[in-house]
């Protein structure tokens, strides 16, 4: 099972960027935690500050992998193109935000991505990525779901 984590602009600064909001762990360190937590999953990590590079990456992996965990950073609130890319690919995408965007400035309350997402996890810190991966795994198991 293959899952891609895709981080957008400024998320390369995790660990030193506004630690009171985003915490003090780098994503590279946290990615190792995820790799250990999900030994059966082929996990990949991609980060870019460029909208075009994020689009190209979604196009490349979004027809073959079992899921994508996307934190598009500020592009969440501005990018019609990323929303269109999510609509165009076939792999399910879970939108994640480390901070609770609804507690923050009004411009962070709207997402161009949410309508195309399989689900959204907001405000649970880095643990949101772990929960998203767990959900994508559950979506792929044959076991009957509890309703
Ligand atoms: C963020 C929230 C966005 O509003 C912000 O621009 C980010 C990070 C989050 O993970 O909380 O860069 O996506």
Active-site annotation holder among 75, 97, 112, 129: 97
The length of the chain is 147
Q: How much is the pLDDT for 143?
A: 67
Q: How much is the pLDDT for 145?
A: 61
Q: How much is the pLDDT for 52?
A: 98
Report which of 141, 53, 25, 66 is spatially closest to residue 34, judged by C-alpha positions. 25
Q: Which residue puts its alpha carbon closest to atom 8 of ligand 1?
A: 73
Whole-model pTM above 0.85?
A: yes
pLDDT-derived band at 142 (thresholds 50, 70, 90) equals low
User: Of ligand 1's atoms, which has the minimum distance to the CA of residue 8?
Assistant: 12
Q: How much is the pLDDT for 141?
A: 85
Is the pLDDT at 146 greater than 90, yes or no? no
Q: Which CATH number fits domain 2-139: 3.40.50.300, 2.40.30.40, 1.10.260.40, 3.40.50.9100?
A: 3.40.50.9100
- 3-state DSSP call for residue 137? helix
Q: How far is the CA of 53 from the centre of ligand 1 (A)?
A: 18
The answer to whether 66 and 1 are in contact (CB under 8 A) is yes
- 3-state DSSP call for residue 130? helix
Distance CA 43, CA 86 (A): 19
Q: Is 22 a catalytic residue?
A: yes
- Hey, which of 16, 17, 49, 74 would you mutate to test ligand 1's pocket, going by the most ligand atoms within 8 Å of its Cβ? 74
Tokens of 23: 């915490």
Q: Is 30 a catalytic residue?
A: no
The answer to whether 11 and 50 are in contact (CB under 8 A) is no
Is the pLDDT at 78 greater than 90, yes or no? yes
Predicted confidence (pLDDT) per residue in 82-100, tens digit: 999 999 999 999 999 999 9
Per-domain residue ranges of the chain? 2-139
Tokens of 48: 């870019």
């Amino acid at each position: 099972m293959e899952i891609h984590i895709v981080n957008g602009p400024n998320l390369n600064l995790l660990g030193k960027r506004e630690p009171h909001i985003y915490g003090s762990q780098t994503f590279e360190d946290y990615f190792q935690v995820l790799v250990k937590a999900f030994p059966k999953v082929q996990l990949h990590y991609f980060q870019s500050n460029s909208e075009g590079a994020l689009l190209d990456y979604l196009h490349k992996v979004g027809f073959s992998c079992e899921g994508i965990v996307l934190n598009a950073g500020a592009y969440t609130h501005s990018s019609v193109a990323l929303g269109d890319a999510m609509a165009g690919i076939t792999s399910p995408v879970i939108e994640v935000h480390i901070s609770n965007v609804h507690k923050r400035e009004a411009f962070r309350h709207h997402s161009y991505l949410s309508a195309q997402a399989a689900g959204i996890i907001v405000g649970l810190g880095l643990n949101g990525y772990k929960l998203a991966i767990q959900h994508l795994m559950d979506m792929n198991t044959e076991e009957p779901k509890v309703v």
